[in-house]
Structure 1
Amino acid sequence: MAGGNAIRGSRVGAGPMGEAERGEVAARVFVSYYCANGHETRPSFAQEAGLLLPELWDCPRCGLPAGQDHENPPTAPKVEPYKTHLAYVKERRSDTDGAQILDEALESLRGRGLIR
Structure 2
Amino acid sequence: MASGGHAIRGSRVGAGPMGETERGEAAPRVKVSYWCANGHETAPSFSVGEDVEAPVHWDCPQCGYPAGMDPANPPSPVRNEPYKTHLAYVKERRSEEDGAALLAEALEALHTRRGSIAS
Which TM-score tier does this pair reach, normalised by the shorter chain? 0.7 to 0.9
Q: What's the CA shift for 1:15? A: 2.4
- State the alpha-carbon separation in 2 of the partners of residues 6 and 99 from structure 1: 75
The corresponding residue for 2:66 is 65
- State the alpha-carbon separation in 2 of the partners of residues 43 and 114 from structure 1: 71
Q: Secondary structure at the match of 2:25?
A: coil
- State the alpha-carbon separation in 1 of the partners of residues 50 and 58 from structure 2: 15
- State the alpha-carbon separation in 2 of the partners of residues 107 and 91 from structure 1: 25
Q: Runs of 4 or more off by more than 3 Å in structure 1?
A: none
Identity %: 62
From the CA coordinates, give the structure whose radius of gyration is larger: 2
Residue type of the partner of 2:105? E
Normalising by the residue count of structure 2, what TM-score does the alignment of the two structures yield? 0.80
Going from structure 1 to structure 2, the CA distance change for 1:66 and 1:6 (only over 3 Å counts) comes to farther
- State the alpha-carbon separation in 1 of the partners of residues 56 and 50 from structure 2: 13
Please provide the CA RMSD for this pair. Answer: 2.1
Normalising by the residue count of structure 1, what TM-score does the alignment of the two structures yield? 0.82
- State the alpha-carbon separation in 2 of the partners of residues 49 and 86 from structure 1: 52
The total of aligned residue pairs comes to 110
Q: What's the CA shift for 1:49? A: 5.7
Q: What's the CA shift for 1:24? A: 1.1
Residue type of the partner of 2:19? E
| Larger displacement relative to structure 2 (93-102 or 71-80) | 93-102
Cα shift readout 1:76-107 (whole Å, capped 9, x = no counterpart) = 01100011111111111122211111111222
Q: What's the CA shift for 1:13? A: 1.1
- State the alpha-carbon separation in 2 of the partners of residues 75 and 24 from structure 1: 40
Structure 1: 5+ residue stretches without partners = none
Q: How does 1:1-116 map to 2 (within 5 A)?
A: 5-7=8-10, 12-16=13-17, 18-20=18-20, 21-48=22-49, 52-112=53-113, 113=115, 116=118
Residue type of the partner of 1:19? G
